[in-house]
Chain A
């Protein structure tokens, strides 16, 4: 009787342990985007300088679409210089870097742009339409959109030089 009890206890614990082992191995912060490998949702943005940018306009060019906010400290502040540097390095090879400022105040956003001397186009996302269309759940998040308009890679969190370079090179 005792061995039967022990065995049934063991049998009921093992599936629970397996479930927990599986659960603890996954990263709770990582939410896989269903958009990777699919056509990027179209966007049309009015930039802070008054110019317009849409995905349709940029078809045929690799696009680095970066979602940021001035209140996103420190990740957005850490990746900002790398984004500007990547833009400087790759703009001659047809790569477009676009910044989308979300859930922010225009004055704060403009101060952020001045601080990091951004020369690539940046624009606000007033009703959050673009960020929701891209399934953004936090800042910073960056989408690498290939020449054919499909999403090549999505990066969650701050970018560094290495990831930027590797992913842009893959799209070229």
Chain B
């Protein structure tokens, strides 16, 4: 009974540890995740995680070291912003004028979709009308010409 309890306790501790590790990820994973949020200063549109440049390598080392020293991801993000400005963040922070960058794509998608739906509906309505209504009276000149040409073709 006692050994069973002990085994249960060990299993509980182990699974709790495993769970917390799975949530936080390894130090390397955390480093890469944070580095992926930072813009590589010497590259064109590459994150610090993706760039093979020396500067990005050094930045990854700084992130790794700071995580090792127990700094939180927020503290590390703030450190880079304090040195490079918000420019260093690949995704703009959700505040003030930056909301434009976050919301505009959705506004464009919804607005564009709305315009497309309206246009399709209108053209369908027009199409129906076109089928129901007889086309306007034809020019008698063309009718006679058509008759003549048809006769010629039949011969």
Q: A residues near B, CB below 8 A? A: 31-35, 41, 103, 127-129, 131-138
Which of B20-28, B29-37, B58-66 lies at the interface with chain A?
A: B58-66
Q: Mark B65-96, 1 if CB is under 8 A from A, else 0.
A: 00000000000000001111101000000000
Residues of B within 8 A of A41 (CB): 83
Count of A-B residue pairs with CB < 8 Å: 46
CA distance A161 to B59 in the complex (A): 33
Query: What's the nearest-Cβ distance from chain B to residue A112, in Å?
Result: 17
Interface pairs (21), CB distance under 8 Å = A31-B84, A31-B85, A31-B87, A33-B85, A34-B81, A34-B83, A34-B84, A35-B82, A35-B83, A103-B54, A127-B61, A128-B55, A128-B62, A131-B55, A131-B58, A132-B58, A132-B59, A134-B83, A136-B41, A137-B42, A138-B41
**Distance in Å: Cβ of A163 to nearest Cβ of chain B:** 22
Given contacts A34-B82, A137-B41, A138-B42, contact A128 B87 (CB under 8 A): no
CB distance from B85 to the nearest CB of A (A): 5
Interface residues of B, dominant DSSP: helix
Query: How many Å lie between the Cα of A34 and that of B58 in the bound state?
Result: 21
Nearest 10 CB-CB pairs, A to B?
A137-B41, A128-B58, A135-B83, A135-B84, A103-B54, A34-B85, A31-B87, A132-B62, A127-B58, A132-B59
A125 to B, closest residue via Cβ: B58
Q: Which residues of B contact A (CB under 8 A)?
A: 41-42, 54-55, 58-59, 61-62, 81-85, 87
Report chain A residues within 8 Å CB of B81: 34
Q: Give every chain B residue within 8 A of A129 (Cβ-Cβ).
A: 58, 62
Given the complex, which residues of A lie within 8 Å of B84, measured CB to CB?
31, 33-34, 135, 137
Taking A33-B85, A34-B84, A132-B62 as known contacts, 9 extra A-B pairs with beta carbons closer than 8 A to each other, sorted by chain A number, are A31-B84, A31-B87, A34-B81, A35-B82, A103-B54, A128-B54, A135-B83, A135-B84, A138-B41
Query: Closest CB-CB distance, A135 to chain B, in whole Å?
Result: 4
Residues of A within 8 A of B58 (CB): 103, 127-129, 131-132
The CA-CA distance from A138 to B42 in the complex, in Å, is 7
- CB-nearest residue of chain B relative to A129? B62
Complex CA–CA separation, A134 to B84 (angstroms): 8
Min CB–CB distance B133 → chain A (angstroms): 20
Pairwise interchain contact B83-A133, C-beta atoms closer than 8 A? yes
A136 to B61: give the CA distance in the assembly, Å: 16
Residues of A within 8 A of B83 (CB): 34-35, 41, 132-135
List of A residues within 8 angstroms of B87 by Cβ: 31
Contacts of A132 in B (CB 8 A): 58-59, 62, 83
Q: Give the complex CA separation of A17 and B120 in angstroms.
A: 28
Please give me the residue from chain A that is nearest to B40 by CB atom. A137
Cβ contacts under 8 Å, A128 to chain B = 54-55, 58-59, 61-62
**B85 cross-chain contacts in A, Cβ below 8 A:** 31-34, 135
Residue of A nearest to B41 (CB): A137
- The docked-state distance in angstroms from the alpha carbon of A137 to that of B39 is 11
Chain A: CB-nearest residue to B87: A31
Question: B62 contacts which chain A residues (CB < 8 A)?
Answer: 127-129, 132
